[in-house]
Amino acid sequence: MTQKRVAAIHDISGFGKCSLTVALPILSAAGIETAVIPTAVLSTHTGGFSDYTFCDLTDQLLPIAQHWHRLGLHFDGVYTGYLGSARQIDLVLQAFDLLRGADTMLLVDPAMADGGRLYAGFADDFPRQMRRLAQRADLLVPNITEACLLTDTPYRDGPYRKEYIETLLQKLAALGAAQVVLTGVFFDREQLGAAAYTAATGEIHYALTHRMDGFYHGTGDVFASALLAAVQNGFTLSEAADIAAEFTAGAISRTRAAGTDLRFGVQFEPELPWLIRRLGL
Ligand code: PXL
């Protein structure tokens, strides 16, 4: 069987477990070859740290994609996450046009906000820029805050009503994605997870696991990476959402038990053997 190959376009935050330091190990563990385009190098992510270093690599993005294009490489998926500027979004769109084949899936995680607020450093019009990339996605994976910003919907804190979630899913799909997985969905204090929507059939699947209090950094990236790992291994969107929700909840549980600083990310590494077994590898 030919090995699946994905191009992951994210920053690399050296410490703190998010973006490439999450996507690369999870996809690799799932048997997927993962080529990376680092968009910036930071000492840590920006969520709660103040004096992090930042080296912008925007000018490398297109030359890397052009080189891969000259090599004639085929990609089963292109996976984008945290992007720092409107210019990076333009270049990612151009890179996607170079890298895509007839069957290349574009997964867009519009990582830019959480808890009703944009992440530090983003201008108010950034969601409008991110919308241009979201419109090209085959699979769009926002959290509720990002979904609201992309669709001009007022943000609300949960617990949510089904009607609110299902309206958001439809508005997100109307941007263009055939499949949408919305994270951070909860209807009561007991459970939390994701809603997976397939536009062609209208099917909505809720992938919920037990809810844990607290803001765990990097869980959006852990979830989206595991989701892509499962989809690329042939699981349906609903199955993939279940797998990703369970994997993320497992990593959060371990982190909670260990009591580490929430900015340091979640312990997804000890859960990788579980993921490999669950994927049947
Ligand atoms: O996963 C989100 C993320 C990625 N990269 C950087 C970040 C964040 C979230 O804060 O700061 C640099």
The answer to whether the CB of 47 is under 6 A from ligand 1 is yes
By percentage, how much of the chain surpasses pLDDT 70?
100
- Section 84-107 average pLDDT: 97
Helix axes 144-151, 162-174, angle to 10 degrees: 50
Query: CA 233 to CA 242: how far, in whole Å?
Result: 14
* Model confidence band, residue 85 (pLDDT cutoffs 50, 70, 90): very high
- What tokens does 130 get? 């991110």
* Model confidence band, residue 1 (pLDDT cutoffs 50, 70, 90): confident
Query: CA 253 to CA 238: how far, in whole Å?
Result: 22
- What tokens does 276 get? 């490999």
Q: Which atom of ligand 1 is nearest to the CA of 42?
A: 12
The answer to whether the CB of 267 is under 6 A from ligand 1 is no
CA 159 – ligand 1 centroid, Å: 25
CA 174 – ligand 1 centroid, Å: 26
* Stretch (H or E) spanning 42: strand 33-44
How high does pLDDT run on average in the chain?
97
Q: How high is the pLDDT of residue 224?
A: 98
The answer to whether the CB of 17 is under 6 A from ligand 1 is no
The answer to whether the CB of 18 is under 6 A from ligand 1 is yes
The answer to whether the CB of 221 is under 6 A from ligand 1 is yes
Q: Cα-Cα-Cα-Cα dihedral of 206, 21, 73, 57, to 10°?
A: 120
Q: Tens digits of per-residue pLDDT, 31-80?
A: 999 999 999 999 999 999 999 999 999 999 999 999 999 999 999 999 99
- Give the CATH number of the domain where residue 123 resides: 3.40.1190.20
The answer to whether the CB of 218 is under 6 A from ligand 1 is yes
Which is nearest to 177 in space by CA: 205, 198, 153? 198
- Closest-CA residue, ligand 1 atom 6, reads 45
The answer to whether the CB of 122 is under 6 A from ligand 1 is no
**236-to-78, 98, 151, 175, 229 alpha-carbon distances in Å:** 18, 27, 26, 22, 11
- Out of 9, 11, 12, 18, mutate this one to test ligand 1's pocket (max ligand atoms within 8 Å of CB): namely 18
Q: Which atom of ligand 1 is nearest to the CA of 84?
A: 12
Q: For residue 220, what are the domain limits?
A: 5-278
CA 221 – ligand 1 centroid, Å: 9
CA 201 – ligand 1 centroid, Å: 33
DSSP letter for 48, please.
Answer: S
The structure's pTM equals 0.98
User: Are 236 and 186 within 8 A, CB to CB?
Assistant: no
Q: Which atom of ligand 1 is nearest to the CA of 221?
A: 1
Q: How high is the pLDDT of residue 169?
A: 98
Q: Tens digits of per-residue pLDDT, 99-125?
A: 999 999 999 999 999 999 999 889 999
Q: Which long-range contacts (CB under 8 A, 24 or more apart) does 112-117 make?
A: 112/82, 112/146, 112/149, 113/143, 113/145, 113/146, 113/149, 114/143, 114/145, 114/146, 114/184, 114/215, 114/220, 115/145, 115/215, 116/145, 116/155, 116/157, 117/145
Q: Is the pLDDT of residue 13 over 90?
A: yes
Q: 3-state class of 55 per DSSP?
A: strand
Q: Which residues contact 135 (CB under 8 A, 6 or more apart)?
A: 175, 176
For the chain, the domain total comes to 1
